Chains A and B, each alone.
Chain A
Amino acid sequence: MIRYEVIVIGAGPAGLSAAIEAAAHGLQVLVFDENAKPGGQLFKQIHKFFGSKEHQARERGFRIGEKLLAEALGLGVKVILGAQVIGIFAHRQVTVMQGDHMEYYVGNSIIIATGATENVISFSGWTLPGVIGAGAAQTMMNIHGLRPGKKVLMVGSGNVGVVVGYQLIQAGCQIAAVIDGAPHIGGYGVHAAKIARMGVPFYLSHTILQAHGTKSVSGATIVEVDSFWQPVPGSEKNLDVDVICLAVGLSPLAELPRLAGCRMQDNPLKGGLVPVCNQYNETTVKDIYMAGDAAGIEEASSAMIQGRITGNAIAHQHGYIENTEFDQCHTKYQGALNQLRAGMFKRDSRKETGLRYTQEGYTLSKTLLTKGFLSTSELSVFPGIPTEVRRRQGVTPIIECTQNIPCNPCQDVCPKGCIKIGDKITNLPVMSASSCLGCGLCVASCPGQAIFLVDETYEDQFAAVTIPYELVPLPGEGSKGVACDRAGIPLGEAEVIHIRTTAYNDGTALLTMKVPIEWAMEARFFKPDHIGEGG
C-alpha cells in the first residue's frame, strides 16, 4: 500500500489544475488516468477558448493542455497512465487496475475529476456503424488525423454540435445539416455563424427519425417536431450522409463518489446525478473532493478553475497555507468562475430570459437563433457595428457579437483601444470612434470569429473585407474565388488581395478580399474556386 498526500483521479483540465495547485503549495500529488495519454478532452479542443486573459482566452484548448501538463510535471506531480480506478474504499483506500493487475493506494485527500460522458438519443438505426458521438468525431480527426466519414449529419446545436461541426469542415468533411429538437440554436450564435456562412443549413424543431443502411449508415431521415415534440407528418427530409454525429449533451461521471458513500443529488442544472459539495468542492465524505464536470457539467475553462479551488482548499486543510492566503486565493478563483458563469447562456438565466434580449436590452437576432446567421437588417442596432459615416472614413472593425457571452480578448488585443467591453466581460463589445490601424488582431483573436475588417475606401466602387480563415489550402494573394454572405449564399466573384499569418494568431489567417462596395456589409466568407459545394 502506497500513501500519497493527494490522489487525483483523472488527468483532464480539472484534475491537472487541482494537482498543480496542490503541488505548488508543497503537497505530494499522484494522478491516475485510465487513458494512454493525459489531458482528458483538452487535446481534442483545437478551437480558441472564450473568457478573459486569466481564463487563457484566445488560446487553443490543446495548447492549454500542453501548458498544464508541463506545469504539473515541473512541480513534481506524478502521473500514472493506463490506470483505471475501480473503487474508493474506507479510509480513502484507492483500488487501481493497471494492466492485468490491481494496485492499492491511500490518499490523505482524494480529488475525483473523472469528467463527463456523452449522452445519446435512440432512434431507428441508431446502433449502425457510422452513428458516433461528437466526441468520437473529435478524437478521430483531432487526435488520430482521420476523417470519420465524408458527409455528416450533426444532431444537436449546442456548443459541442456547432464547434465539432466547424472542426469537421476543417478536417475536410461536409456537413449536410445541423438539427435540434429545440426551436432555438443551443450554442453560441457566433459558433453557429461560423458554419452557417460556409453554407451549413440549420433545421430547428427537427429530430432524427431514422438512420438508413444495412451494414453502416447510408443516409438519414429527419422530421420536424411540433411543440409537443411529436413528428409532423409529411415534413420528413432524407439526407445523403455516411456519418451521424450525436451532440446531445453530457452527463457527469460520478460513479466513484457514489461508491465512496458521498451523498448524491439529482440536479438537472448540473447535468444529472452528482455528489453534494460545499463551496470548496468537498463532498459529504471528509477528505474526498470533486473538481470539474464530474461534479456538474460546465466547460473546460470552468473545470480548470474548479480544480484550482479544490487544490487550494486541500493545501489549506493540510496546513500548507495560512488562512489569509487561502482566503485570498479562494476569492480570486471564485471571482474568475463567476465571470465565466455569467451571461445569457448560463443554464438558469437562459430559462428566465428565454434568449430574447441581451443584458443591455437589445432584441436578439431571430435569424441567428434559428438559422445561425445575422440578417443585415438586424445587425445595425448592435454596438459593435460602426455607422455608415464611420465606415466611409477608412478601415474599421465590424463586431458581429450580439449575445452576452463571457469573453473579452478583442478589448485586450486592440492597440488603439477601439473596442470597449468594460469590467463585466459578458457585455457586448462597443466600437468607439478612435482610429483603427487595420492590424486585424481583434479579427484573429475573437474565439467566435465574429470580427471583420471593412475598408469601404479601398478603391473606387470596391471595398476590402478581412475575414478570419482557418481552412486549407490557404488561397494565395491574387487568387479568385466566390464571396459568400452570412448565410453561405454566393454573392459573386472576389479576389484575395492580402493574406496575413503570424505565430501570435496561431493558425488563424487574415484573408483580405476585394469585393464590390455594395457587398462590404454582406461578404463574410471566401470560397476558393477549386472548392465545390459548400458545407
Chain B
Amino acid sequence: MYRIENHPILHQFDKGQRVSFLLDGKEMEGFAGEPIAIALRNSGVLVHRYTAKRAEPRGIFCAIGRCNDCVMIVDGTPNVRTCVTPLQAGMNVETQYGIQSRGAAENND
C-alpha cells in the first residue's frame, strides 16, 4: 500500500510485530509501536474524526502531536493524538464525532 519497502538512503525501517486492532469494530492491521495514525493511513483511512459543529472530516496534519487534528477515541478515551500514540495489539480505535463516539453522538439527537 503506502509502506516504503526499500528506501535509497534509509533502506529498511525497523518495525515492531504485526498486530491487529479495531477501527469502529472492523479488524485492521499495523505494526506494534508505530503511531496509530500511520497504521490507519497505510490502510487508506484518512478521516480520524468529524468536527462537532459542522461535521467536517479531519485527519493527520502535523504528524508530531502539535495540531490535535488527528485525535480519535482509543480504548474509550477521546481526544487521543493518534500521530504520537503507539499502536498496541487489540486496541479499540473509534472515529470521533465532536468529542464522542458515533453511537454516543447519535443518542444525543
A interface, CB within 8 angstroms of B: 34-36, 46, 60, 62, 117-118, 127-133, 135-137, 139-142, 144-149, 170-172, 214-216, 470-474, 507
Contacts and interface: CB of A to CB of B under 8 A. Distances in A.
B62 interface: yes
B42 interface: yes
A145 B61 contact: no
Given A127-B69, A146-B2, 19 more contacts: A36-B84, A36-B86, A118-B62, A127-B58, A128-B57, A128-B59, A129-B48, A129-B57, A131-B61, A133-B61, A135-B62, A140-B38, A144-B35, A145-B7, A145-B10, A145-B12, A147-B2, A170-B7, A472-B7
25 contacts: A36-B86, A46-B10, A117-B66, A127-B69, A129-B59, A132-B60, A136-B62, A137-B63, A139-B63, A139-B64, A139-B83, A140-B38, A140-B60, A141-B4, A142-B10, A145-B15, A146-B3, A147-B4, A214-B57, A215-B46, A215-B47, A215-B57, A472-B6, A472-B8, A474-B8
B62 A144 contact: no
Among B6, B15, B46, the most chain A Cβ lie within 10 Å of the Cβ of B46
Contact of B41 (A62, A148, A473): A148
A60 B7 CA distance: 15
Interface in B17-58: 34-35, 38, 41-42, 46-48, 56-58
Contact of A133 (B10, B35, B62, B86): B62
A172 B61 contact: no
A170 B61 contact: no
A146 B61 contact: no
B9 A470 contact: yes
Contact of A170 (B8, B13, B35, B56): B8
Given A36-B84, A147-B4, A140 B56 contact: no
Interface in B58-109: 58-66, 69, 83-84, 86
Contacts of B8: 170, 470-472, 474, 507
Nearest to B12: A145
A153 to B, nearest CB: 15
Interface of A (DSSP majority class): loop
A135 B6 CA distance: 21
Contacts of B6: 472-473
B63 to A, nearest CB: 4
Interface residues of B, number: 34
In the A-B complex, the 4 residue pairs with the smallest Cβ-Cβ separation, listed nearest first, are A129-B59, A145-B13, A136-B63, A129-B46
A135 to B, nearest CB: 7
Nearest to B13: A145
Among A36, A60, A129, A214, the most chain B Cβ lie within 10 Å of the Cβ of A129
Interface of B: 2-4, 6-10, 12-13, 15, 34-35, 38, 41-42, 46-48, 56-66, 69, 83-84, 86
A68 B29 CA distance: 35
A118 B7 CA distance: 26
Contacts of B65: 34-35
Interface of B (DSSP majority class): loop
Among B34, B59, B84, the most chain A Cβ lie within 10 Å of the Cβ of B59
A145 B46 contact: no
B76 to A, nearest CB: 15
Contacts of B4: 141, 145-147, 171-172
A105 to B, nearest CB: 22
Contacts of B7: 145, 170-171, 472
A118 to B, nearest CB: 7
B59 A144 contact: no
A162 to B, nearest CB: 17
Nearest to B2: A147
Nearest to A118: B62
A140 B13 CA distance: 12
A135 B42 CA distance: 18
Among B15, B34, B41, the most chain A Cβ lie within 10 Å of the Cβ of B41
A127 B8 CA distance: 32
B26 to A, nearest CB: 16
Among B10, B41, B47, the most chain A Cβ lie within 10 Å of the Cβ of B10
A70 B34 CA distance: 24
Contacts of B42: 146
Contacts of B47: 129, 215-216
Contacts of B3: 145-147
A140 B58 contact: no
A471 to B, nearest CB: 5
B21 to A, nearest CB: 16
B34 A144 contact: yes
Among B8, B56, B83, the most chain A Cβ lie within 10 Å of the Cβ of B8
Contacts of B58: 127, 129
A146 B62 contact: no
B13 A144 contact: yes
A132 B10 CA distance: 22
Contacts of B34: 144
Contacts of A214: 57
B63 A140 contact: yes
A507 B9 contact: yes
A216 B57 contact: yes
A170 B75 CA distance: 36
Nearest to A214: B57
Contact of A140 (B41, B46, B57, B66): B41
Contacts of A474: 8
A214 B46 CA distance: 12
A20 B19 CA distance: 39
Given A60-B9, A145-B13, A146-B3, A136 B38 contact: no
A35 B60 CA distance: 17
B9 A146 contact: no
B60 A129 contact: yes
A472 B58 CA distance: 33
